[in-house]
Structures are given as structure tokens and as C-alpha cells.
Structure 1
Amino acid sequence: MHPYLIMMIAVFLALTSSARADIAIGAGGTSLSLTGRVGAEDHCHAALALRANPAVTLVRIDSAGGNAWAGAQLARLFARAGLAVEVPRGARALSAAGVAALGGARLTLGGVLGLHGPYSQASSTAGLGEARAEMRAVLLESGLRAGQVDLALAQPRDRLLILGPADLADRRRHHRVDRAAVARIADACDSLFALMGRPSAGRQGHAETGAAVGQVGHLKGAGMVADNAVADP
């Protein structure tokens, strides 16, 4: 069995919920929408949708947050695919969803984008330090200044650092576009779901009961780093 799949299985078995956001392809097949709470496997669901719809160039987000690990991996996925991200007027991209939005090659911010540090809904706080380090790396790659990133991660679960267009005007992204990575990630997710006896496309929903922290840093070999902390305001 491929080591990447073993690592992903270890991560997914540590999660307490398989709930997911609503991820849908828009009319014409050129946009993807992500709404509702970010589930622990939503980077996989998004990768599968993007592989099946290669004409997608834009992601629209309206989410209050969810799983911090998935939010970071969504940011990396959108960055590798070179996708633009929009938070429409009246929408929000908070917490994990805010991290995901900052992966966009271009970010159009009509709604609200807010960030805070990771936290655990489990009794153990093991892995939170590594989770914070991974989120910091992703946010720095997105082009935020180090001071902005540190201030964002210093916010507790009941507070948010709100970033507006002026705060993001001088972003200098450090992501590398690698469109072929989308197919590689989707293929690995297909294999993972098959090994776990689950379909690639399951039911959609908004609720997430929370994820355990602890299986951290297992996906580096495939260019995706795991962080199971939950971060939802």
C-alpha cells in the first residue's frame, strides 16, 4: 500500500465526523462553490470535483469555518490549481474557511474574511503546536505579512482578526501553481475512500461534531501536510 494512503487513513480514522460542506459546480462548469462548515475531508471532495471539472477557474466561499486541517489543505489545493477565490458580498470566510480563501491566486473580497488560531474540541491538546505551525506556514505562503499571521493565530476561538481589502492589497503569494497536483490528490483520495469502503461522493451536509487533534504532519510526501485541529468560531 502506498505510504501516503496509510498516512491518510491514520488521519481520517482519528476524526470523529465525516460531515462535509456543500461543494457544487456552477452553471457552465467554470466555478465551484463551497458553503457550510468545512469538514475534515473537504479538501478531498474539492479535489475530486476539480478533477471532474477542469474548466473551473473560480471558487466562491461562504462558510463560518470548520476543520483547520482541511482549511489549510483547501488553501494549498486552490493555490496549486491557480484558482481565483471570491467571498461574495454578504458572504463570509471565517476561521478555516478564511485560510482556504487565502489560497486563491486572486482574492476578491466582497464579504468578510476572519482568522483565529486553532483549538481542539477534544480533551487532549496534543498536536496544537504543530497545527499552529502548519497554519502559519500556509498563511505566509498566501502572502500575508508575518505580523498579520502572528496576530491572527493569537486570536482565541471566540475572536477573529478581520482582514479587509486594504490589509490584503500588498499580498505577495509564494505558492507554486501545479495543476497536475489536483489530479494526483484526487487519485489518492479515490484510493483512500476505496480502501475505507466508502464512496468518493457521499451525502453533503453542514454539521461537524469536531475532530480529534493528534495525527499531524503525515501528508508531506504528497505535498499536503495534515493538521487535525478544529478551528471554527
Structure 2
Amino acid sequence: MRHDAVEIEIVITAPNHGVGLWMLGAFVLTFGGTRAVTRLIRAGRGPFRDMSVGGTHVHHQVYGIMAMLVAGAIEFSYRPGSPGVQILAVLFGAGAALTLDEFALWLHLEDVYWAREGRKSVDAAFLAVAVGLLLVAGFNPFSDVGPGAVNHLVFAGVMLVNLAFCVGAILKGKTALGVIGLLVPLVGLVAFIRLAKPDSPWARWRYPPGSRRAERALRRYPPDRRTRIDALKDFVGGTPRN
């Protein structure tokens, strides 16, 4: 009996930086515009009001999810050329901004938009912009490693080790650096070897209460710690009510 070998090749193409720029631009403009409108609604100024259908408040993430679904379905089904692909990129970027602007609602399943927990939405948007900038700049962890099984094995090993460092960084409370580390090697490693934040899963597992590491973590990241990034988040997203 003859068995014919079937070779399957997975081709990872280079990202289209031009389309990525359209998507990133739409994300930034939509997120900024959305925050401006919601702050006007909060202050009771301007013509904008919360939208309700049948007495149910419709959050703008609903429109964002629909926009991403439509853009993704059309892109995967038809693979349009220019200018269709740019239009889809703008639609997807705008939809992602509307959706991530209410990211905190995904986690808490309640309206915490203006609460301190709602600041996670701003964090998610900032992280999305950072990743988008890296992708547009050409950072590609799946670049060509050259022919040969040895090269591919070494590449796979390096990727797995880097992934482990990035996951460790996220568990230590360094979510942004962990995600960025997936695109930029060694960032995850640097974040992983540093001290974990006291409210992180890693600290709960490895820093017993009253231990030296727990005290160091609390001194390094006190509850009232604020940075320039926090001030920027307040400027963009508005000051939380608690």
C-alpha cells in the first residue's frame, strides 16, 4: 500500500502597514471622540444623550461589536482590494475603539464606566494603541527565520521561552509590558524579572503576607501611587468618581 506524503505549508505574510495605519487612525479618532461625547453627556452639556431602546440603555460597545463583525466577515469572505480594504480597516478600527472604550463592562458585567474600575477601559485602549504603533512600525515576531528544520526548531524554542516570560509578566501585574513583549523580544523578560505588583496573582501566590518581598512590593507600588501616565489617563478618560 502506497502512502503519499502530504506537505502542508503555513505562510505568514508581512503585515500591510498602510492598512494598519488606517485602522490605527480610526481607532484613535473614534476613541477620542467617544470620550469627548461621553464627558459632555456626563456634564449635561451639548445635544448628546444616552441612547435607549424600549427603556433599555444601549451601550456604544454594541455598535462597536457589530462594526467589527461586519468588517471581519466582509474581509474574510471577499478580500476586497483598494479602497475597500481601507474602508474595512477604518470600520474595524472604529468598532474596536467603541468596544474597548467599555472594556471594563466586560469584566464587571455592570456599568462602571465612571467608577475607578472603569479605568480599565482606558488602560485597554492605551495598550491597543501601543500594539498598533508597533505593528505599523513593522515589528513582526513571525519574520522569516530562513530554511531548515534546525532554524525552525530554534525559532519555536525562542518563541516559547519568550511567551513564558510574557505570561509571567502578566501574572506579575505588568499586563502592558507582557503584551508588548509578544512583539518586542526581551521586554517580557525585563518585566518578568522585576518585582510583582502587590495585587497581582503572582504576589498572592509567591509573596506571603508579612514577607520581605510582600513589603518591598507594597513600598514599590503603594495603593495611592500615581504616575504621569495616570494623569494622562485622567485627562483622556475623565476623573473617576471614586
Which band: TM-score by shorter chain? under 0.3
**Higher relative contact order, structure no. (Cα contacts within 8 Å, ≥ 6 residues apart):** 1
Give the greater-gyration-radius structure (CA).
2
> Normalization by structure 2: what TM-score?
0.25
Which one has a larger percent strand, Structure 1 or Structure 2? Answer: 1
Give the structure-1-normalised TM-score. 0.26
